[in-house]
Structure 1
């Protein structure tokens, strides 16, 4: 029996590196495609083949499909800065939408068995709580718009060409390998990086906004395993933690595991969804509920890792297209 070939885009990034690791554990031959714009080569698990490049390079994508005859595509490459997407609209759509279409085109031509896409709860927009998969998405930022457009395109490709897909909508994922030097996204990583640099933790608004923070393996393992369960094919799944916390509550947990006293700086509120959490009943029915990692346990794991890797310098995004109304501190 020939070995399964799987493409993992964004496999040097946060979620992608964990999905690649779990695919290897399943016995897949894993090819990682990443341009290292947000990931790190040392995050790529041993045993994976690394190709440095972008999903926006349609010629490279075509060559990879011809060479490796992929059975599965796990598409996690994206510039996932939801708030920043308002100010980098062209970059957002070129990377997150057109890059995805390059992959879908080749997946159709290669007749891959399944295309696994990591979308986001950003597709839902505001005021739909708890978010359920049967709601009509109304994204309010370009990042969410691009993710939902890819979802619609996958459904169209399935209807026209029979391309099977699985769509996951994770949210607020954290854990080892997160880019804690990215000041535009991932609040837990931002807090840890600020603490380790002796800086105050910056909070937009009053800190009473709520999110359900999801530990990485509670997300990455189902993503990797889904191709082995036909019940997941051509379905959409919310995936992640069930219990929401305020940002102010989060401060206490992060400080506890980094042995730090809370030191916060409140900034002007951003134009963002105040409360965001989703219903996971559908995912629980298919993937089960065993082993979910609590926020306290997950942050303890991430803090242990962060202490080893140390603080990282915040990266500036140098291709901002619109500067009007940018949040303080960006």
Structure 2
């Protein structure tokens, strides 16, 4: 029997502003919020998101989350009671090349959004953070581990976390910070998936290579201190991650204290293991080329997600083969979508 993360006695429905809700993770969370009966307003500049990915049952406003006046107006005119903040730049190597761009997008604009949140007296704030705020670890990473970000991306996310914590303490704003590990897969109902052109997500890149959309794929480094020499990551299905956001919102609505949680399964796979699973599932032995390590990449990052599970989160799609299969099905569907 399929387990559910939804409470037996659900709290009142919320009117949610979802920044970056036309993108990959934000878009799946929009679907989960709508499925749970919440009202959703999406604010997205469509720089990496897609207009077609926003369901007709949600309202799309095209604009910049760093525009204070716009955000205040959107909150006021739509009666926003909760904000879920996904809008960000997310590619670690790019952040090394363009640190100021990442600090602007991920830290400065979060400050602006927080200022609007306080100005308009919105009570609940949920933030899309990252395991990149941690450094290398030989064991499972718990929330108690000291932050030690190794890239401008990780540092920009940690800066935002600090601002959220301080703002929550000063203004009695309830917040939830969700630190994602590696997100993969697509909506099991086929409504959306990872659609960004030139995406760097490992599973998407491997599937695109299998389908001939890329001539080959690169694996960056095989000399890490891991069992097979390849970097190890904890992969979480995007639908399970979206459920975690709905659960986080429910907890904040019930008046629980603010919290920070890891979002992962507590199981690591090396890059080579992932590529081998993609090859096996697609039946295609595509070309793979070894390349040097990328700046900012860590050897191993695996979540301790005990705290999130203690809240009642029960993942439904925690097999890597399931994530790959859903991503593969979406990639086949994507050709029919208009970009």
Return the TM-score normalized by structure 1. 0.89
2:221 aligns to what?
205
* Rounded Cα–Cα distance in structure 2 between residues aligned with 1:121 and 1:129: 14
Cα distance in 1 between the residues matched to 2:168 and 2:159: 14
State the partner residue of 1:277: 302
Equivalent positions of 1:181-330 (< 5 A) are 181-183=197-199, 185-196=200-211, 197=213, 199-206=215-222, 208-229=230-251, 230=254, 233-271=257-295, 272-310=297-335
Count of matched residue pairs? 311
Offset at residue 104 of structure 1 (A) = 0.8
Partner of 1:137: 147
- 1:44 Cα deviation from its structure 2 partner: 1.1
- CA–CA separation in structure 2 for the residues paired with 1:126 and 1:182: 27
Q: Return 54-63 or 293-302, whichever deviates more.
A: 54-63
Cross-structure match for 1:316 = none
Tell me by how many angstroms 1:292 deviates: 4.1
Tell me: CA distance 1:180–1:251, structure 2 relative to 1, closer, same or farther (3 Å). Answer: farther
Retained in 2: the 8 A contact 1:237–1:282?
yes
Superposed CA offset, 1:3-44 (max 9, x none): 631100111000101111111122221000111111111111
Give the drift of 1:198. 5.2
Residue deviations 1:248-282 (CA, integer Å, cap 9, x gap): 11111112232311421111112321111111111
SS of equivalent residue, structure 1 residue 117: strand
Q: Give deviations 1:29-72, integer Å, cap 9, x for gaps.
A: 10001111111111112300001112122221122122122100
**267-276 or 230-239: which moved more?**
230-239
Verify the 8 A CA contact 1:17 1:45 in the aligned structure 2. no
* Change in CA separation of 1:232 and 1:266 when aligned onto 2, cut-off 3 Å: farther
Structure 1 unmatched ranges of 5 or more: 313-330
Q: Does the Cα contact within 8 Å between 1:85 and 1:143 map onto a contact in 2?
A: yes
Q: CA RMSD in A?
A: 2.1
Unaligned runs of 5+ in 2: 1-11, 187-192, 223-228
Cα distance in structure 1, aligned partners of 2:122 and 2:46? 25
* Corresponding residue of 1:9: 19
Aligned equivalents of 1:3, 1:130: Cα separation in 2: 35
Q: Which has the higher contact order (CA 8 A, sep 6+)?
A: 2
| Paired position in structure 2 for 1:82 | 92
> Structure 1 residues 130, 159: CA separation in 2 closer, same or farther (over 3 Å shift)?
same
Does the 8 Å CA contact 2:235/2:264 hold for their aligned counterparts?
Answer: yes
- The aligned runs of 1:144-155 (5 Å cut-off) are 144-155=154-165
Deviation at 1:180, TM superposition (A): 5.1
1:25 aligns with 2:47: no
Separation in structure 2 between the aligned mates of residue 187 and residue 311 of structure 1, nearest angstrom: 22
Q: Contact 1:166/1:232 (CA < 8 Å) preserved in 2?
A: no
User: What is the CA deviation profile of residues 93-112 of structure 1, one whole-angstrom value per residue up to 9, with x for unaligned ones?
Assistant: 11111111111111112222
8 Å CA contact 1:218–1:240 kept in 2: the answer is no
CA contact 2:43–2:64 (8 Å) conserved in 1: yes
- Structure 1 contact 34–54 (Cα < 8 Å) conserved: yes
Q: Secondary structure, in 3 states, of the residue corresponding to 1:287?
A: coil
SS in 1 for 2:27: helix
Specify whether residues 311 and 173 from structure 1 end up closer, same or farther in structure 2 by C-alpha distance, changes over 3 A only.
farther
Select which of 133, 136, 161 maps to 1:123: 133
